Amino acid sequence: MRSFCVLWLLACITLAPPFAAAATPAATLPQDSAYRIPPLLLRDQQGTTFAFASLRGTPRLVGMFYGSCQMVCPLEIETLKRIEQTLHRRGGTPVSVLLVSFDPARDDVARLKQMAAEHHVQAPLFRLARPEHGDEGMLAGVLGIAYRPLPDGSFSHNVVVALLDADGRLRATTDASATIDPAFVQAILDLQAAR
């Protein structure tokens, strides 16, 4: 195994280049805006269809989930609700949330509606959405979200909720676990104060 570790280190050194700085001037969107992903059409728990890029204009939290997830995804939604409560206590305003399903085959609008009701969240402030057209994998990639279907129908995945500023730049992330990250809340407050 030792030789394998050495090989792995070599692979890291030779294969992992540094992330490039922005090279070309911004046109309509900043170079590092998540809204630069190819067109992605979504439908939320109320059946409303909208383009992901149309959400530009206000800061929001964006994450992904799948509806049949038993443990982490319900926790993700409850944690986001608690972040909203913390914001309110600290003088902030409600922040819009978008969670996109990476299991559109099973997460239809009826299921999204049911989940929203179970967690007492309402659109448009808190949207659960499914991809209708386009590649949600591109969204996952820019947010640092990874998922892989497992043989039993569940997914191996991580949880990342990203704070995007009004232009779609990623300002902070949280794993949305039970403990609320004060730095993440502060990043939202800072963004709201700057507007």
Partner 1 sequence: MPARIAGWLMLLALAPVAMAADYVAIPGGHFVSALAVDSAAARIAIKPFAMRVEPVTNAEYLHFVRAYPDWQRGQVTPLFAGSQYLAAWRDPLTPGPDARPDQPVTGVSWFAARAFCAGEQARLPSWYEWEYVAAADASRRDARGDPARNQQILGAILASTGHLPGRIGQHPANVFGVRDLNRLLWEWTGDYAAMFPNADARVAGAGPSLALCGGSALAFADKSQFALMMRVAALTALQPADAAPRVGFRCVRDLPGA
Cβ atoms of 174 and 181 within 8 Å: the answer is yes
Q: Does 17 engage in binding with partner 1 (CB under 8 A)?
A: yes
Q: Does 19 engage in binding with partner 1 (CB under 8 A)?
A: yes
- Map the footprint of partner 1 across residues 127-146, applying CB under 8 A: 135, 137-138, 141-142, 144, 146
Q: Does 74 engage in binding with partner 1 (CB under 8 A)?
A: no
Closest CA to 136 of 101, 169, 181, 178: 101
Closest CA to 146 of 86, 66, 67: 66
Q: Does 25 engage in binding with partner 1 (CB under 8 A)?
A: no
# chain residues binding partner 1, by CB under 8 A: 53
Q: Does 101 engage in binding with partner 1 (CB under 8 A)?
A: no
Q: Does 33 engage in binding with partner 1 (CB under 8 A)?
A: yes
Cβ atoms of 109 and 123 within 8 Å: the answer is no
Provide the minimum distance between the beta carbon of 102 and partner 1 in the complex, in angstroms, as a whole number: 10
User: What single-letter amino acid sits at 119?
Assistant: H
Residues comprising the chain, all counted:
195
Q: What are phi and psi of 111, to 5 degrees?
A: -70, -40
> Which residue from 108, 175, 180, 192 is in contact with partner 1, where contact means CB under 8 A?
175
User: What single-letter amino acid sits at 31?
Assistant: Q
Provide the minimum distance between the beta carbon of 91 and partner 1 in the complex, in angstroms, as a whole number: 26
Q: Does 53 engage in binding with partner 1 (CB under 8 A)?
A: no
Strand ranges in 93-159 using DSSP code E only, listed in sequence order: 96-101, 126-133, 147-149, 155-157
Rule CB under 8 A: which residues touch partner 1? Answer: 1, 4-5, 7-12, 14-24, 31-34, 36, 38, 69, 71-72, 135, 137-138, 141-142, 144, 146-152, 154-160, 173-175, 177
